Amino acid sequence: MVIHDNGYIHRDLSTENILVTRENQIKIVDFGFTDEARGRRTALGNLFYMAPEITGDATYNYKIDVWSLGIIVYEMFHQDTPFASRKKFD
């Protein structure tokens, strides 16, 4: 992704932040949580798309966006996130 090539991570990739134009071009939006890709620790984003590194106390980098993209692709095929819960609270 171009954002990673420039040294930044999105940190909030989800289906709500991906748009498709009339020409079928994919556009990523909502860069409110974007920051430099150097060892971050702040827990931000949508829980359904959040990488395990974010929820723990580990530092993370651009790979969290790759995780979120994997969740989005899974959701496209299965109509649900892979770790979705049927309960309101666990």
Can 30 be counted among the known catalytic residues? no
Please tell me which residue, 18 or 37, carries the higher pLDDT value: 18
Task: Please report the pLDDT score of residue 38 as a whole number.
Answer: 72
Question: How many domains, in total, are found in the chain?
Answer: 1
Task: Please report the pLDDT score of residue 1 as a whole number.
Answer: 64
- Is the separation of the CB atoms in 55 and 45 below 8 Å? no
Which domain CATH number covers 56? Answer: 1.10.510.10
Please tell me which residue, 57 or 19, carries the higher pLDDT value: 19
- Residue 19 β-bridge partners: 27
Q: Is residue 83 part of a domain?
A: no
- Specify the residue for token string 């090539």: 5
Task: Please report the pLDDT score of residue 89 as a whole number.
Answer: 54
Q: Is residue 30 part of a domain?
A: yes
Rg (CA), the chain: 14
Residue 66 φ/ψ, nearest 5 degrees = -65, -40
- Residue 35 β-bridge partners: 9
Q: Is residue 90 part of a domain?
A: no
- CA dist list (Å): 6 to 13, 38, 63: 17, 12, 14
Domain span holding position 13: 2-78
Q: Is residue 85 part of a domain?
A: no
- pTM of this prediction? 0.78
Options 12, 57, 80, 90, the catalytic residue: 12
